[in-house]
Structure 1
Amino acid sequence: MTPAIDAEGLTKRYGDVTAVEDLSLTVAPGEIHALLGLNGAGKTTTIRMLLGMVRPTAGRVALLGTRVRPGTRAIWARVGYLVETPAAYPELTVTENLLVAARLRGLTGPGPVSDVIARLDLGTYAHVRARTLSLGNAQRLGLAKALIHRPALLVLDEPANGLDPAGVAEIRTLLSELAHDGVAVLLSSHILTEVARTADRISVLADGRLVWAGDTGDLVAQARPRLSVGARDLGAASTALRAAGHPAEPGHGTCLVLTGDHAIGHPDEIATLLVAAGCPPTRLAVEQDDLETCFLRLVGTR
């Protein structure tokens, strides 16, 4: 199956500043793939290179089987995108903006416009001028313009920007429906919890480099619980635990960490074991990192 996005060795330098370095990325049809990173990590620069808006210093990009080069035109009829701030003609209404977008895409008739207005729940604002829209509804209009021609590949930079919780949930549902229909979706975000609910795969960027890539479930698994054990004699406690089949690792401060399922599920047995070994626990707590902590650990930020 031909990847919707196939990028290899992407690098972008601005003088002495390297915005993105040696980044490779593959997105399959029907996959929701998230670029995750802090502000300034290189997400938007990567998206601009993928879309031919910025010429890479090094590397190559192919979208839907077609190499992206200067002068490449035919491929854009199958690609929808929303990069950074959504643009609109401020004095035109939502409907008029979409009619212009449809005409630029070579679409005819009222069907595409009415369909996308319904899909993005813009009916209430159909005759409202774009300049009066809230940030969230302006974002909806930008998404509608990206979707009006039913693209095979959708590239979105912070698609939930400005949306309220209900709007975020609607966009999540919309993206899942598009992926179910075979549309490949690449989105950027710095909100890990939302990405974890939406994306099939995640690529984490830090300082322009790819620091982690894999299935969303693999990243979520890094937030699994652990049993934190404190004792006056950590050496003796570690020896007793290891002898009983519970290998312990040093934790933060004066404690040991157990990650075995049995230990986590039965901390009372761990306490009894340590008391019998002559090193009663001074602390016993089941802890769990949240997803943001895992993310910040990956990008090297406390």
Structure 2
Amino acid sequence: MFNLFLLQALNGIQFGILLFLVAAGLTLVFGVMNLINLAHGAQYMIGAYLCATFTALTGDFFFGLALALPATLLLGLALEMLVFRRLYDRDHLDQVLATFGIIMIVNESVKMIWGAAPLSVPIPDILSGSVPLIGNMQYPMIRVLIIAAGLATAAGLYLLVNRTRIGMLLRAGATNRAMVSALGVDIRRLFLLVFGLGAMLAGFAGAMVAPLLSVDPGMGDQVLILTFVVIVIGGVGSVRGAFVAAILVGLVDTLGRTFGPILLRSLMDASAASQTGRTLAPMLIYILMALILAVRPGGLFPAPGGTH
């Protein structure tokens, strides 16, 4: 039982890391720019498709990943300049409607370009093996890479936000964008930087998960819902909160789906426990969100007037 718990806990951490990569960009965009971007999940999907395409063209996953990141960044910058900068001064309802429209356009564009059939990205040979854990337990190398890449990204974001001049401007822009602009900072360029960084992080998450999941249209929709749960639990505008909340959500979701039916077998027969467990498992993260908000309405690490 302990081996199963350890294995699923690692899977939960890996899932949480992917959620963090998507949530970090979205919470930066909302915290600094006060923009609700429902199309953020579409950028995750685009990253996966670009990685699949470049991997097929080059024959190497790492080359595909290296090409997908700048391509996702450029697409994010183009979307910001063409669409999103016109929404900054609009109310949140306008932002929700406009970005929902972008989701529909991007999903249909993906079907036109790549078709509706799922794509697959082969796991590179160097990542096809496993690493030993305890006893005879093995853990896939590709999942270890995702965890390591996510932790490195989290550390890099922490240093960027808290130890650099750009991070200082981000925090100041989140607190009082009018004052920052009056001091001579090009607030439009700052917003462009934040949006491009968020788009690239989402694309990075999509590219990293491409070898594990099928790449298909609409794959970003479910991730978007979980991403908003992460942001609400962690505290809007808080990168640290997004990291902690993402790990919590990943663990609760993964462990709940595995051990929920097992625990219920002590209360009911096996078939009923399995059915009830499958029904309750998707609800656990929303129960977690409700419990946390009941105690801390602003989330675990609220960021009043700033991003941290």
Give the TM-score band, short-chain normalised: under 0.3
Higher strand fraction: Structure 1 or Structure 2?
Answer: 1
| Structure with the greater alpha carbon radius of gyration | 1
More helix by percentage: 2
Structure number with the bigger relative contact order (C-alpha 8 A, sep ≥ 6) is 2
Q: Could you tell me the TM-score, scaled by structure 1's length?
A: 0.22
